[in-house]
């Protein structure tokens, strides 16, 4: 049975290289445009970095498949099959990148037979590297990661992200959900503008839980392995198993806090990544 460690080593090398390209581009002027909504931003660096990652990996692993944020935006079908599949976000936190707000990451996940095998997330602004392989633990710059073991939601710090939709009905539900989290009461709610880095904070125990409607499979894939290997849970907002394509997630250090959040949330429908 393959352990995919060679693929993980290549993922680490290319994530670091891509992260350096992003860090350099962060010092320069950016050409910005929008995708699905006026707040869903993309720059030429997103395209350049995705091309760098996919062409490098394709050359090395020609039989593998690829799902990438910018390829999907350009119309490539976002399809998870049983084949070894790389799931790539070249710049997570593009809006942060545009504003030089230092929460920007490269995220590379890898799935085989629809099961996530490893994840690599490189924090471009400070060079922190998060890695995990299924069954082998999660690490930050080589040091073992552990989630928070807190079970009491009144002592929890909760993270979320806004998503791209800003119509009044969506914002009402979003703010209603946040109000429920604040009035639980919890210690607080934070939004940092990068789903992958927020999820890494759950893995490191810096916050107890994360929930979001509107993220994509490339925002969750790598981080899900990292959180699970750090001892946490990553589930659907319904409380069932995570569906990578469903554009919604609850992640937490403990099942108790995840279950509490699941019971509070009112859903926001973003459709699916794999719908035509």
- Residues involved in catalysis: 69, 89, 91-92, 94, 219
CB contact set of 164 (below 8 Å; sequence gap of 6+): 36, 37, 39, 40, 214
For residues 73 to 92, the per-residue mask of contacts with ligand IPD, x marking binding by CB under 6 A and - elsewhere, is ----------------x-xx
> Does residue 208 bind ligand IPD (CB under 6 A)?
no
Nearer to ligand IPD, 207 or 215 (CB): 215
> Residue 237 interacts with ligand IPD (CB under 6 A)?
no
259 is known to lie in a ligand binding site: no
Helix axes 217-229, 195-203, angle to 10 degrees: 10
Please select the residue that binds ligand IPD; options are 216, 227, 232, 251, rule is CB under 6 A.
216
| 229 contacts ligand IPD (rule: CB under 6 A) | no
Question: Using alpha carbons only, what angle is made at residue 72 by residues 126 and 65, rounded to the nearest 5 degrees?
Answer: 85
Task: Please report how close the Cβ of residue 191 comes to ligand IPD at its closest, in angstroms.
Answer: 8
Supply angle C-alpha 37, 218, 92, rounded to 5. 65
| Among 71, 186, 194, 237, contact with ligand IPD (rule: CB under 6 A) | 194
- Rounded Cα distance, 135 and 92, in Å: 26
Residue 92 or 243: which CB sits closer to ligand IPD? 92
Nearest to 221 by CA among 125, 85, 43: 85
Distance CA 102, CA 121 (A): 15
109 in contact with ligand IPD (CB under 6 A): no
Please report, as ranges, the residues that interact with ligand IPD according to CB under 6 A: 69, 89, 91-94, 161-163, 193-195, 214-216, 219
């Amino acid at each position: 049975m393959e352990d995919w460690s060679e693929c993980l080593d290549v993922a680490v090398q290319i994530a670091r290289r891509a992260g350096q390209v992003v860090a350099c581009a962060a010092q320069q002027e950016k050409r910005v445009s929008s995708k699905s909504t006026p707040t869903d931003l993309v720059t030429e660096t997103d395209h350049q970095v995705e091309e760098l990652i996919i062409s490098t990996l394709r050359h090395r692993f020609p039989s593998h498949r690829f799902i990438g944020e910018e390829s999907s935006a350009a119309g490539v079908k976002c399809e998870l099959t049983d084949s070894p599949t790389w799931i790539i976000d070249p710049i997570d936190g593009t809006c942060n990148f545009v504003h030089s707000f230092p929460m920007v990451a490269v995220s590379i996940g890898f799935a085989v037979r629809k099961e996530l095998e490893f994840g690599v997330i490189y924090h471009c602004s400070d060079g922190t590297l998060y890695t995990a392989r299924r069954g082998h633990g999660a690490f930050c710059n080589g040091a073992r990661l552990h989630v928070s073991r807190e079970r009491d939601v009144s002592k929890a710090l909760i993270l979320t992200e806004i998503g791209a939709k800003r119509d009044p009905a969506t914002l009402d539900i979003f703010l209603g959900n946040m109000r429920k989290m604040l009035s639980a009461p919890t210690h607080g709610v934070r939004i940092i503008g990068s789903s992958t880095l927020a999820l890494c904070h759950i893995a490191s125990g810096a916050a107890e839980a994360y929930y979001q409607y509107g993220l994509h499979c490339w925002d969750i894939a790598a981080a899900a392995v990292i959180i699970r290997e750090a001892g946490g849970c990553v589930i659907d907002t319904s409380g069932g198993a995570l569906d990578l394509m469903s554009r919604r997630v609850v992640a937490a250090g403990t099942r108790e806090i995840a279950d509490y959040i699941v019971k509070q949330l009112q859903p926001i429908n973003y459709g699916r990544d794999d719908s035509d």
